[in-house]
Structure 1
């Protein structure tokens, strides 16, 4: 006997259900592009200090400790930024947090261009880092909120493909500007100014973004959430794209407590409790994935930023001069956007945790090749392979991290995990530079390889099969 015969009426689909059934719309592509361009300038800023480390050492007559502080300052700022802005995004909205973080790092990056001393440079890099640190976690949370679930991995990979163009961009721009002094101003100062100008343009574009309907529904602003969702549905209909009915039994309303996607029902122990934030993170349903995410973020920095930050210094240790080193670095950094592009077809075909683990192991192998390379061509080939596979890793880990927590704590929870990577990154110059100085490139990359193997083991062993995503109550959804 049918439900209709019994007079049963299915509840109206929630905002999250309606967003997830949407096809890919021009609005989704426009959002992905705007976020991607913001990520481009974030990547540019993230790699600026490391790219210029040798130049700044000469220009400011930096001591070994000064170099470590310059490299660490931006990451220490990012540690605080990821936590503070994640909390702001969950309380005041994704869009408002976006505008605050961009304004912070645009202003202080420009201030860094006028640095009269190393103290000023360290201070402005730290303050710029507060804004930079929030960019990726806010981007991940916003895209995870607004993109349809079945298309999310692919579209987020496209955003990061665009974003990672900022890494070779800073290398190539540095190679061009560093030997010059346009209008009598040192080339490295122009690099800071260009980053500030670009992020200011992105700030203007992002004013046109709408707030996350999932977040609006999660905080009780249902009328606004319904209106934005209806607008997207109207766009789909105007393009002649049919809207499928949501799967029976699914309710992604954060406050609903109804069954999870797939109709399996929410495990009562997995619902996110109220109370102190850390209690929520370590509640029975989220404890295991919180440990997994924290280990991922702590260890990932050793491989990812360990290479990006220290590659110019490794090349100097191999005997290449500043201009040669910048040229090789710029060439090697082309692997970053290529790797992110390679992640696009893989993202929705390979379970996230396995893609993270396999690419981490690839970084370990390529890094050892880079360390022991004896010719320029081998250095470039191994470095390119490293950056390529590291951005498959990065794209996969960003999507993986964003999908672990329900909407109402997503930005703060993923931001807290992500902030740990910045704390590790701040410590890297102090931990890894002595390894490079005493043991050389081989010992350095053996250390990095060990961290990547440990990361791969943690992600695979702590992750349950098919637990790539979580629903709004905190229960696992399954891989996409």
Structure 2
């Protein structure tokens, strides 16, 4: 391998931000999308699988609650471990580790002889699944040019949303014929296939530069730029743009004066988006079943509502590109609150399914933009730990939530559960409107709180960078 001498700063961020979308970006986007698809499939198969196990007397409501709680405990540990691993040893080792773990565990879950075995297996499976949202959105932020970052966030969200929707459809076709175990087999085989395909993804040049491995960063950047240059001459990059300098920071920086505001906003947004999505995708079939529907009708009703997991991400491509993550979550957080206020008063089955579909669409849009936007709040050297902490707390709230949700449902019905979700989204929308950081069309380097202390105004450097990038596209 040819040795690359680096005598000047690499400027990874500025060089990546000025590139046009080319074959490299499309490969990365495809592989990230596939990972998100199977992560959504494995994460959301619990809704249909638990309903089928409950109907077949293979499990009880209490065991189902333990299955979900231990699964989310695994997700909580997994996302924090992936955040630490990514910032300490690099993005590449983390995104391959998570796929291998939850792929192999999914196959093992298909062989579980009882719930006593399946529950701890789901915990281990969750450790692997917990990292995919973090890794996919983080890699997208670090590889893709700022002019296309938000739009590509929406495209990856479509892959994830299709995974949620197809989980319900596949469950309707597979579970009545082959049983619930087949769902774990499908998810496990697909995940391991993506793990094999992603083995050639490169390390993030932004991270390499931040840890002082400039020669490796330069080599990867030259490969990416060389591929892009075959299509068209490359535009120049701003050498006076905010530049990364190597430094190591402890996790305590997340609670420092300059960063703690972002940390708290990220945590509260993640709690709201994860809890809302969990209730809408994980509990609806069980609720319908408890209200007297058959398993087949429950799954069919759920599948109709789950089309919102495709509609929402499709809208997110436009919303993210036009308004950015912050304004998108504010707008559709209010939509979630409004639809949630109407939902409990509907009685017509068509109206319930239609309103439910729109509510799920808004919930999914908030989930993808909320979690994806969180990664842009933190600098490269602690980006994954910051977003990982926010997701860890969010997923931690899900551990106790099954018991709370069942208590609300038994007392107030579906309306009470959806009403509680509406309140969460209203709070998140107001929080972002007052204290949120605008990241749309800004380079990741310009968002560094150590370089730019004002979170509410775009500095002149980032504004000039936006104009330059838009001119080149």
| Distance of 1:120 and 1:458 partners within structure 2 | 42
Structure 1 residue 48 and structure 2 residue 45: aligned?
yes
TM alignment of 1:390-469, pairs within 5 A: 390-464=363-437
In structure 1, runs of 5+ residues without a counterpart are: 1-10, 182-186, 256-272
The answer to whether residue 80 in structure 2 is matched with residue 106 in structure 1 is no
1:308-348 deviation digits (Å, cap 9, x = unpaired): 11111232244322100101111221211221111112212
Residue in structure 2 matched with residue 270 of structure 1 by the alignment = none
Residue 325 of structure 2 is matched in structure 1 by 352
The answer to which of 351-360 and 244-253 deviates more is: 244-253
Cα–Cα, structure 1 residues 141 and 104, in superposed 2: closer, same or farther, change >3 Å? same
CA deviations over 1:292-318 (Å, ceiling 9, x no partner): 001111222232111111111232244
Deviates more, 1:29-38 or 1:242-251: 242-251
CA distance in 2, matches of 1:86, 1:30: 23
- In the TM superposition, residue 363 of structure 1 has moved relative to its aligned partner by 1.7
Give the Cα separation in 2 of the matches to 1:471 and 1:337.
32
Name the counterpart of 2:26.
Answer: 29
Per mean C-alpha deviation after superposition, the further-off stretch among 77-86 and 136-145 is: 136-145
Query: 2:119 matched to which residue of 1?
Result: 122
Which of 215, 225, 228 aligns to 1:233? It is: 225
Counterpart Cα distance in 2 of 1:466 and 1:113:
42
Q: How far off is 1:59 after superposition?
A: 3.1
Report SS of the residue matched to 2:241: coil
- Offset at residue 55 of structure 1 (A): 1.1
Q: How far is 1:147 from its partner?
A: 0.8
Instruction: Tell me the equivalent position of 1:253.
Output: 244
Pair 1:281–1:168, CA change in 2 (3 A):
same
How many residue pairs get matched? 446
What is the rounded CA distance, in whole Å, between the counterparts of 1:283 and 1:59 in structure 2? 52
Once the two structures are superposed, residues 213-264 of structure 1 have per-residue CA deviations (whole angstroms, 9 ceiling, x without a partner) of 1111111111111011111211222102x33333463133143xxxxxxxxx
Matched position secondary structure for 1:53: helix
1:217 counterpart residue number: 209
User: What is the rounded CA distance, in whole Å, between the counterparts of 2:429 and 2:440 in structure 1?
Assistant: 16
Deviations 1:373-418 (A, max 9, x none): 3122112101110121122212211331110111111112111111
User: What displacement does 1:12 show?
Assistant: 5.7
Q: Flag the 1:372–1:122 CA change in 2: closer, same or farther, 3 A.
A: farther
Q: Is the partner of 2:322 in helix, strand or coil?
A: coil
Bigger drift between 466-475 and 302-311 goes to: 466-475
Q: Which residue of 1 aligns with 2:471?
A: none
Q: Determine the C-alpha separation between the residues in 2 that align with 1:399 and 1:85.
A: 16
Residues 64 and 28 of structure 1: CA distance in aligned 2, closer, same or farther (over 3 Å): same
- What does 1:100-179 align with in structure 2 at a 5 Å threshold? 100-179=97-176
Q: Provide the secondary structure at the position in 2 that maps to 1:52.
A: helix
Cα distance in 2, alignment partners of residues 162 and 302 from structure 1: 21
1:203 corresponds to 2:200 = no
Aligned counterparts, 1:79-90, within 5 A: 79-90=76-87
Change (3 A) 1:175 1:26: same
1:174-218 Cα shifts (integer Å, max 9, x gaps) = 11112113xxxxx10000111000000000011021111111111
CA drift of 1:86 comes to 1.1
Query: How many angstroms apart in 2 are the aligned matches of 1:180 and 1:27?
Result: 41
Paired with 2:276 and 2:134, the residues of 1 have a C-alpha distance of 19
Report the equivalent of 1:8: none
Q: Any gaps of 5 or more consecutive residues in structure 2?
A: 1-7, 467-473
